[in-house]
Amino acid sequence: MAANTHWTRLLRALVEVMDDGNDVHLRALRRVTREAARSDVDTARVIFDADSRPKPKQFAQALTELTSRSTDGTLGGLEPNAVLRAHYANPLALEALCLAVGVPFSDATEWFGPTSGAWTIDHVTKLLAHLDDLVQGRVESLIPGSQAARAVELIDNPSGGWALLDELRTAGAPYELLLEQRYVGGVWLLHKNKTSSFPNIAAANLLCTLLAQRGVDFRRASSVGGEARQRDLQELSGILDKRIGVVVVGGDGTATFAVTFSAARDGGTARANGDGLLQIPVTALPFAIVLTGLGWAQRPETDRLARRYAGRLFTERSVEDLVDCIESTSA
């Protein structure tokens, strides 16, 4: 078909006349949905919000905060009280200590941290005991053929202990160790996990910018970079689902259109996300989904989304068509 085909418009028209028992219609739906859901967002190739990561200087300051409170000026000489004071003085200190041992701070918080509120001496005592056991090689895996997860340099040098970490801290780490860490930990993996919602925020930015340029009133959820509370959007739209991202508002203050956003880099994520999106209630309010990522185009769940939501599927490539759809539907 022609390169300038309006796939999203064609999809809406096709869904309107679909006969679920017609095999030709089903094949046509698969073809059109694949094109309409084609996204150029590949999170393996881009980094969102890169400047939010802690910089080397900040980690150096955090480590200095820790060692300045140590009994002997080393990481190995840290006591729970000193770690807690360092944490209050520098919020990155506790995370830096965990990363030095090879434990993501999110995991440390889940295992030993507070369910709400601030870290206490009891939390830090348990965490530090666990970190010390890892560094000293006292944690054994009960699963044959595996070992406790810890910093790769400690796995390479099982007897290195805190002295090895302090040597790397003061003398510097060889570049080949950095490469090994990238191999086992992935490039930007932790940061990408922390910014997994950013493709949705970027898509919402595109949509909301165009809506504002055309003078269309809307409310944007805080989960996609706006200020509206989710419960307020659910009340406004009448759609009881926490995934509502943008609600378009008419001149009388009532909702005229709702949009949600979903990102999927691969087919597995698209399958999981698609199953969830299919649970969003269908109401009288027109509803659209903006899909980003390479995972959507090939998944059968995307076909079902098209059929369930009147073919109103878009990507970052077709946001302008979405705005046209919003304006024509809301008129």
**Which pLDDT belongs to residue 2?**
53
Provide the CATH number for the domain around residue 217.
3.40.50
Where does the pLDDT of residue 127 fall: very low under 50, low under 70, confident under 90, or very high at 90 and above? very high
Question: To which H or E segment does residue 10 belong?
Answer: helix 7-17
Same-domain check for residues 24 and 60: no
Domain check: are 124 and 248 in the same one? no
| Mean per-residue pLDDT of the chain | 93
pLDDT of residue 196: 83
Q: Are residues 143 and 168 in the same domain?
A: yes
Supply the pLDDT for residue 97: 98
- 21 contacts: CB under 8 Å, gap ≥ 6: none
Distance of CA 95 to the CA centre of its chain: 19
Domain end point (choices 186, 207, 226): 186
Q: How many domains does the chain have?
A: 2
pLDDT at 193 (0 to 100): 81
Mean local confidence (pLDDT), 86-95: 97
Sheet holding 255-263, edge to edge: 218-220, 244-249, 255-263, 287-292, 313-315
Q: Name the pLDDT band for 101 (thresholds 50, 70, 90).
A: very high
pLDDT at 214 (0 to 100): 96
Q: Which residue has the tokens 């056991």?
A: 133
201 and 324 both lie in a single domain: yes
The last residue of one of the domains, among 128, 152, 186, is 186
Q: How far is CA 2 from the centre of its chain?
A: 35
Domain that holds residue 229: 7-42+196-330
* Average of per-residue pLDDT across 262-284: 94
Higher-confidence residue: 66 or 299? Answer: 66
Co-location of 163 and 59 in the same domain: yes
Dig out the tokens for 185 from the structure.
């930990």
Establish if 229 belongs to a structural domain. Answer: yes
Are 84 and 160 in the same domain?
yes
Looking at the fold, whether 13 and 59 belong to one and the same domain comes out as no
Mean of pLDDT values over 240-244: 94
Same domain, 200 and 312: yes
Determine, yes or no, domain membership for 2: no
User: Among 159, 186, 213, which residue terminates a domain?
Assistant: 186
pLDDT band at 197 (very low <50, low <70, confident <90, very high): confident
Which helix (H) or strand (E) element contains residue 315?
strand 313-315
What pLDDT was estimated at residue 21?
A: 86
CA distance 168 to 174: 8
Same-domain pairing of 61 and 174: yes
Q: What is the pLDDT at residue 3?
A: 61
* Band of residue 321 on the pLDDT scale cut at 50, 70, 90: very high
The model's pLDDT over 13-38, given as tens digits with 9 standing for 90+, comes to 999 998 888 899 999 999 999 999 99
pLDDT digits (tens, 9 = 90+) for 141-192: 999 999 999 999 999 999 999 999 999 999 999 999 999 998 988 768 888 8
For residues 169 and 293, membership in a common domain is answered with no
